[in-house]
Amino acid sequence: MSLVSQDGNLKVSFTLNGRATTVQTTSTRVVSDLLRDDMNMKGTRVSCGRTVCGACSVLVDGFPRAACSTFTFELEGRDVQTIEGVEGSDGSLDPVQTAFARKSAFQCGFCTSGMILLAKSLLAAHPDPDRETIIAWISSNICRCTGYELIIEAVQDAAKAIKAEAGA
Quote the least distance from Cβ 164 to other proteins, whole Å. 19
Quote the least distance from Cβ 1 to other proteins, whole Å. 27
Quote the least distance from Cβ 40 to other proteins, whole Å. 9
How many CA atoms lie within 13 Å of 88's alpha carbon, on the beta-carbon side?
A: 8
Farthest CA pair distance, the chain: 56
Considering beta carbons, is residue 77 or 147 the nearer one to other proteins? 147
Considering beta carbons, is residue 75 or 155 the nearer one to other proteins? 155
Quote the least distance from Cβ 35 to other proteins, whole Å. 11
Considering beta carbons, is residue 2 or 26 the nearer one to other proteins? 26
Quote the least distance from Cβ 50 to other proteins, whole Å. 6
Considering beta carbons, is residue 13 or 21 the nearer one to other proteins? 21
Contacts with other proteins by CB under 8 A lie at 36, 42-50, 52-53, 55, 82-84, 86-87, 93, 97-98, 100-104, 106-113, 116, 134-136, 138-139, 142, 144-152
Question: Could you tell me which residues are beta bridge partners of residue 19?
Answer: 16
Considering beta carbons, is residue 1 or 165 the nearer one to other proteins? 165
Question: Could you tell me which residues are beta bridge partners of residue 10?
Answer: 4, 25
CA-wise closest residue to 128 among 108, 104, 156: 156
Q: Kindly write down the DSSP assignment for every residue of 113-163, as one continuous string.
A: HHHHHHHHHHHHH-SS--HHHHHHHHTTS--SSS-SHHHHHHHHHHHHHHH
Specify whether the CB–CB gap between 67 and 118 falls below 8 A.
no
